[in-house]
Amino acid sequence: MGYHKPVLLHESIDGLYIKPEGSYVDLTFGGGGHSREVLKKLGKNGRLVAFDQDQDTFANIPDDKRLIFVKANFRYLKHYLRYHAIDKVDGILADLGISSHQIDQPERGFSFKTDAELDMRMDMRSGRTASRLLNEASGEELVRILKSYGELPNAVALSAAIVDARKVAAIETTEDLEKVLKRFIPRQQPSKFLARVYQALRIEVNREMEALGDMLLQTAGCMSSGGRLAVITYHSIEDRIVKNYMRSGNLEGKIEKDFYGNIQSPWRLVNRSVITPSEEEIKGNNRARSAKLRIAERIES
């Protein structure tokens, strides 16, 4: 299997409405699929800045003078654009979530399908692992994580089971965690339940919602008038944040209007209805099934 098959590739690249001599940002480089497509559409004076904090992605960087690669979390968007003397860009793309490569590498601990150490860090150079989180977080913190990021209705019971189990032995592997959760795993759709648990832990370990909010709030200030912001999400929590921001310019979705009743937002929605993968794409890449693409255009301030 390849590193990662880019999801909604043509829809997202077309949505950026790329100018050959423009400047663009790919906030989630991964396997480089979206970046390579952007580079195809850029002229010799065009520029692309690509971000990724996962060191496994560094091997995928193409040898192209138009590309600036930033080995950092996308929450530092504005800082690195300033560092590279880029004031405004013409488009920003973010394909959120976890890559196929990360799921398919057992030692990363992102998947419950193979026994491995519970790591789940996007950047393996820093931060606490999922194992440390499970063994050190308070019961109240675990409830918040499982309820907020996994949308699990029995978060209190799950948290109590984890706290009781770790008193006997540390929870270090995917197998350890499954043993703790065994009595809660439903007979129907067990994978869906486990996927929610793992999603919750991964989001907390990588502070994904904080990073997403930080990044989104920087995009308007970095974007030229008429520039496009295209974001692909994979679950309702991050999609809600992106939707709120594009509609209102803030993460809460609070609509503010001027004296004449016009919505005061730095963005105009390009696609009123969310864009989803075709049946053909899902058939060729099942991991695309939950993807949603939203696109907004920067309004002149």
User: What CATH code is carried by the domain that includes residue 187?
Assistant: 1.10.150.170
| Domain assignment present for 117 | no
143 and 178 fall within a common domain? yes
% pLDDT > 90, the chain: 80
| Domain assignment present for 115 | no
Q: Which of 189, 205, 221 is the last residue of a domain?
A: 205
Confidence (pLDDT) at 48: 98
193 and 55 fall within a common domain? no
Number of domains, the chain = 2
87 and 217 fall within a common domain? yes
Expressed as residue numbers, the domain containing 274 is 9-100+208-298
Mean pLDDT of 13-33: 96
| Domain assignment present for 36 | yes
- Per-residue pLDDT of 126-176, as tens digits, reads 789 999 999 999 999 999 999 999 999 999 999 999 999 999 999 999 999
Mean pLDDT of 28-38: 95
168 and 226 fall within a common domain? no
Confidence (pLDDT) at 104: 58
| Domain assignment present for 116 | no
243 and 286 fall within a common domain? yes
- Per-residue pLDDT of 255-300, as tens digits, reads 888 878 787 899 999 998 999 999 999 999 988 999 999 999 999 8
13 and 96 fall within a common domain? yes
25 and 143 fall within a common domain? no
88 and 214 fall within a common domain? yes
Q: Which of 205, 222, 242 is the last residue of a domain?
A: 205
Phi then psi dihedrals of residue 277, to 5 deg:
-65, 150
Confidence (pLDDT) at 44: 97
Confidence (pLDDT) at 5: 80
Q: Lowest-confidence range among 70-74, 112-116, 220-224?
A: 112-116
Given a cut of 60, whether residue 211 has pLDDT beyond it is yes
Which CATH number fits the domain that encloses residue 231? 3.40.50.150
219 and 95 fall within a common domain? yes
| Domain assignment present for 118 | no
Given a cut of 60, whether residue 16 has pLDDT beyond it is yes
Q: Which of 205, 228, 259 is the last residue of a domain?
A: 205
**289: how many CB neighbours lie within 10 A of its CB?**
14
pTM of the model: 0.91
Burial class (CB in 10 A: 0-12, 13-18, 19+), 8: buried
Q: How far apart are CA 251 and CA 165, in angstroms?
A: 37
90 and 219 fall within a common domain? yes
| Domain assignment present for 56 | yes
| Domain assignment present for 196 | yes
Comparing 262 with 42, the larger pLDDT belongs to 42
242 and 188 fall within a common domain? no
142 and 215 fall within a common domain? no
Q: Lowest-confidence range among 14-23, 109-118, 219-228?
A: 109-118
Confidence (pLDDT) at 99: 60
Confidence (pLDDT) at 1: 40
| Domain assignment present for 113 | no
Classify each residue of 54-83 as buried b or exposed e, where b means 16 or more C-beta atoms within 10 Å of its C-beta.
Answer: bebbeebeeeeebbbbbbebbbbbbebbee
C-alpha 96: how far from its chain's center? 2
Confidence (pLDDT) at 107: 63
The structure tokens listed for 165 are 């189990």
